[in-house]
Amino acid sequence: MADTIDVNGKQIAVDEEGYLANLNDWEPGVAEVMSKQDNIDLTDEHWDIIKFLREYYEEYQIAPAVRVLTKAVGKKMGKDKGNSKYLYSLFPYGPAKQACRFAGLPKPTGCV
């Protein structure tokens, strides 16, 4: 629990895998800082997925596994986005794992 990231001068605690220790600490700056660490420039397309994940968590209290995320994105945003090729192009370290981390959610259920 000693780890923190610096978001606009604010120290925010993360766990040993880099996920936020406290969900309520999230702000867009968290995604900015984390993506910079992963060498990703966030685009509107990234934000769509991050926003989607936060809404999904809000509704279901769970971070979806990648297969479920893919399906749910397809349902909401169309099949051109609801496929793993598209999602991996945005989040090369795994759309569920990496995007959930940027979104301040816990590690997805069903990921090891």
Partner 1 sequence: MSEIVKKFLYLNRKAPYGTIYAWEALEVILIGAAFDQEVSVLFLDDGVYQLTKGQDTSGIGMKNFSPTFRTLGDYEVKNVYVDRDSLAARGLTQDDLVQIAWEDFDTEEEVENIVEVIDTARVRELMDASDVVFSF
Q: Give 10 or 67: the residue with its C-beta nearer to partner 1.
A: 67
User: Taking a C-beta distance cutoff of 8 angstroms, is the pair 95, 88 a contact?
Assistant: yes
Set 67, 76, 78, 111: catalytic member = 111
Question: Shortest approach of partner 1 to residue 23 CB, angstroms?
Answer: 10
Q: Give 64 or 104: the residue with its C-beta nearer to partner 1.
A: 64
Q: Site size for partner 1, by CB under 8 A?
A: 15
Q: In terms of Cα–Cα distance, which of 28, 23, 43 is closest to 91?
A: 43
Q: Is 64 in the site for partner 1 (CB under 8 A)?
A: yes
